[in-house]
């Protein structure tokens, strides 16, 4: 299995970059650093949703923005990082919805979203 694109060495412009480097950071940490802006924006957008429809729309928009900028090679890593960010922000329903998307390749349906919200005691419209 190839390393995610965010872990692949980028072309260097000068010789100083050819000196030995410390051990590489873990895959998720490296990717989190590379995709920091997209993670912050996506987590904020998803955390602010107040209904099933807005969560679904935010998921679609966040994924589309990421794929437009970076392609879909690192999408599973991005979704894992995004679900962790949402959990850190105390948004378990949005984190679970992102995990469903990551694991199944499709956004959760309305019944799944209702189940997610009821499991965390939220009332969504």
The pLDDT tens digits along the chain (125 residues) read 566 667 665 544 555 555 554 444 577 888 899 999 999 999 999 999 888 788 888 999 999 999 999 998 899 999 999 999 999 999 888 898 899 889 888 777 777 777 776 766 554 44
How far apart are the C-alpha atoms of 33 and 116, rounded to whole Å?
29
> Global pTM?
0.74
pLDDT at 87: 93
Sequence-distant (≥ 6) Cβ neighbours of residue 76 within 8 angstroms: 102
């Amino acid at each position: 299995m190839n390393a995610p694109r965010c872990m692949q060495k980028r072309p260097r412009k000068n010789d100083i970059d050819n000196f030995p480097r410390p051990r590489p950071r873990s895959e998720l940490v490296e990717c989190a650093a590379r995709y920091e802006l997209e993670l912050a924006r996506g987590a904020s957008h998803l955390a602010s949703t107040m209904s099933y429809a807005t969560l679904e729309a935010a998921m679609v928009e966040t994924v589309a923005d990421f794929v437009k900028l970076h392609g879909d090679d690192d999408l599973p890593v991005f979704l894992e990082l995004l679900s962790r960010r949402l959990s850190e922000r105390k948004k378990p329903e949005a984190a679970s919805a992102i995990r469903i998307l990551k694991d199944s390749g499709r956004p959760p349906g309305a019944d799944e979203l209702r189940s997610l919200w009821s499991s965390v005691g939220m009332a969504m419209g």
